[in-house]
Amino acid sequence: MAAFFFGLLLFAMQSPPIPSRPTERGDGDRGSPPSHTASSPLALNDTGATGHPNGTFQQLPHIIIIGVRKGGTRALIEMLSLHSAVAAAENEVHFFDWESHFQKGIPWYLSQMPFALPYQLTVEKTPAYFTSSKVPERIHHMNPDIKLLLILRDPSERVLSDYTQVFYNRLQKHKRYQPIESLLVKDGEINLGYKALNRSLYHLHLQNWLRYFPLESIHVVDGDKLIRDPFPEMKRVERFLNLEPQINASNFYFNKTKGFYCLRDHGRERCLHDSKGRAHPHVAPAILHKLYRFFQEPNRKFFELVGRTFNWN
């Protein structure tokens, strides 16, 4: 009998472990991503959905809102959450762009996702993903078939919104701030070293994403139109995600006090945080004109990339 149990123990020790899920491969046209070892942050060794007694579970996202900062990402995810088949992460996860988070691995990323019902699609948004050079490859390694949403505004307006956010943050912390003119212009020319300006060079960042994903996997939301008339833009998002038409015009109402659209969902009304829609600082017309001229060529290149135009200055 002792020999029998010893034999069973030896067999168990020699049996290879069974992987929890098959290894994912990339699109053959773009080349398969390199395999990941068990120590790699993207190693998929133990990422099965985390279940909950009420029948919900956590799953890796089917959709990621990749940016852009100050493009309207918060409004987009709030509006998308109106759909009953969508479960949205509450906070910006910053898994693929922050090394401190990325090194925690896919199991940690999974733990940041919302608990969803079996029929729901999970979505997270981190606006910094779009302008981070390492993020496209990392997301592709996780899931080459993922759906990506990119919301963009007029690049000049986005720069001003970017500055406004930093301005108020520094003001609240009683820190010094630079006038916007000194950041936009250096030695009489547009200051290419200003980070907010770089974030608005959409064609440069999109080119990096197109190295890993086909354009058909990236839906560009017109952030300016979403602000002015959200319903048509959200119908386009529904179609891109193959969602059953559910969001309707009655989900939106214009709040005259705030000056932008708010949401109505099953009788409950909610608006974006007061930090949204802040007035931009005054900029001298000559500097604004210089900014508009600077973006003309980058905008043209972006329009060529996506095969459509936008009503930008």
Virtual torsion, Cα 226, 165, 73, 58, nearest 10 deg: -150
Structure tokens given for 140: 């592709």
Place of tokens 């290879």: 16
Is 261 part of any known ligand binding site?
Answer: yes
Q: Distance of CA 268 to CAs 3, 58, 65, 255, 273, Å?
A: 69, 26, 25, 14, 16
Three-state DSSP class for 299? helix
Does the annotation mark 134 as catalytic? no
CA distance 277 to 168: 12
CA 295, 157, 123, 129 torsion-angle sign = positive
The residue from 70, 125, 173, 175 that is catalytic is: 70
Is 278 part of any known ligand binding site?
Answer: yes
CA distance 32 to 187: 47
Is 161 part of any known ligand binding site?
Answer: yes
Radius of gyration of the chain (CA): 23
Q: Distance of CA 264 to CAs 78, 267, 270, Å?
A: 11, 6, 7
Is 73 part of any known ligand binding site?
Answer: yes
Is 21 part of any known ligand binding site?
Answer: no
Is 70 part of any known ligand binding site?
Answer: yes
CA distance 173 to 188: 31
Residues in the annotated binding site for 3'-phosphoadenylyl sulfate: 70-74, 153, 161, 261, 276-280
Residues in the annotated binding site: 70-74, 153, 161, 261, 276-280
Catalytic residues: 70
